[in-house]
Amino acid sequence: MMKRMDIKYLCIKDFHLPFKSTAVEINNFHEKLKQSDITGYAVGPIYTNSTKAIDDAFDYAQRVGVKLIIGIPNKEDLAYLSNKTKETGIRFAIHNHGPEDKLYPNATVIYNLIKNLDPNLGMCFDMGMIRVMDRMRSKICKAIIKEYLIYTSKMSLRQLRKGLPVNSVVES
């Protein structure tokens, strides 16, 4: 399906490549992606509900060979997480699922929690959720997108509306 849709980048989830994968399994997985002209650029989303889980996520990202983790950390672990991003150079994007998400209901909540932490600690926007909120014509959602999404990637809602290919997404 990815080939048919001309998708070139994959956020690697645990069901694609389990956390406990061996070096051989990881290598085989990357070779399979390469044969399909697909690049794994991140891992996640990963629920990191303890410092051990954070350490495990960073170990997994290093073994997989990516520099970005999409995850859902506990708020009380953000300082620890900030130190991990600084120490490893691996970026961590906090994922949310919109207004019903009790932990991180919107970008403003995330921003206020991380604005004084390592810049490698950022936000991940669920484009599907943004599209749902956009259909609701939420002025609040649009303001949040305008304020926080501008520099996260080259993809914009305008591109989504125009139906541009997904492979036009380039991380900034």
**Domain span holding position 122:** 9-126
Helix (H) or strand (E) holding 131: helix 127-135
Q: How confident is the model over 3-14, as pLDDT tens digits?
A: 777 778 888 999
User: What CA–CA distances, in Å, run from 63 to 6, 42, 57, 66?
Assistant: 27, 12, 10, 8
pTM of the model: 0.77
pLDDT value at residue 8 = 85
pLDDT value at residue 97 = 74
Q: How confident is the model over 18-35, as pLDDT tens digits?
A: 999 999 999 999 999 999
Q: Say if 138 falls within a structural domain.
A: no
Q: Say if 149 falls within a structural domain.
A: no
Number of separate domains in the chain: 1
